[in-house]
A = this chain, B = another copy of it.
Amino acid sequence: MDFALFFTFLAACGAAAATGAMFQPGDWYKGLSKPWWTPKDWMFPVAWTILYICIAVAAMRVAMQAGFDPLVGQGLALWAVQIALNTLWTPVFFGLRRIRAGLVVLGLLWLAVAATLLVFWRIDPLAGWLFAPYLLWVTIAGALNASVWLRNPGVAAG
């Protein structure tokens, strides 16, 4: 455990999490047609809290291998991509209400998360595993975003 590394990565997650607090779903989201398997509202902050801790621990474990493994550079570069895309999605979807642009961001996020998982896995298998719930959740979020796009043709302007 390296607390300096852990809290630095957690701070990056904090910036992404702040979007969830500042760009609220509100009545607009409530009014959208959503599929039956849409997670309940309370599940989102709970899931994200767990996921952010998992990916901060994963990044900390990988960063601790700097000095030993040259692949750490690529792994942490990909981690930076996913946290930036993660920060971008909420303002695009809930702020601009651009459902289609949100889907594009989520597609790129899915690719970045999958790539991070693979590189992390090669450096430290446990760090790779710690990314698995995140990839699963982004898959669900992507399916939900796609479903909302298809079910609400009238509002899917962006």
**Which of A's residues lie within 8 Å of B, judged by CB?**
2, 4-5, 8-9, 11-13, 15-16, 18-19, 22-23, 59, 62-74, 76-81, 83-88, 91-92, 95-96, 98, 101, 105, 108, 112
Given the known inter-chain contacts A66-B71, A71-B66, please indicate yes or no for A84 contacting B81, CB distance below 8 A: no
- Closest B residue to A92 by beta carbon equals B22
Number of copies: 2
Interface pair B15/A88, CB less than 8 Å apart: yes
Residues of B within 8 A of A77 (CB): 5, 8-9, 12, 59, 63, 76
Residues of B within 8 A of A96 (CB): 22-23, 95
Interface pair B19/A80, CB less than 8 Å apart: no
- Cα A151 to Cα B17 in complex, Å, equals 30
Residues of B within 8 A of A67 (CB): 66-73
Interface pair B12/A81, CB less than 8 Å apart: yes
Give the top 7 A-B pairs by smallest Cβ distance, nearest first. A63-B73, A67-B70, A91-B91, A15-B84, A66-B73, A76-B76, A8-B77
Shortest C-beta distance, A65 to chain B (Å), equals 8
Shortest C-beta distance, A156 to chain B (Å), equals 16
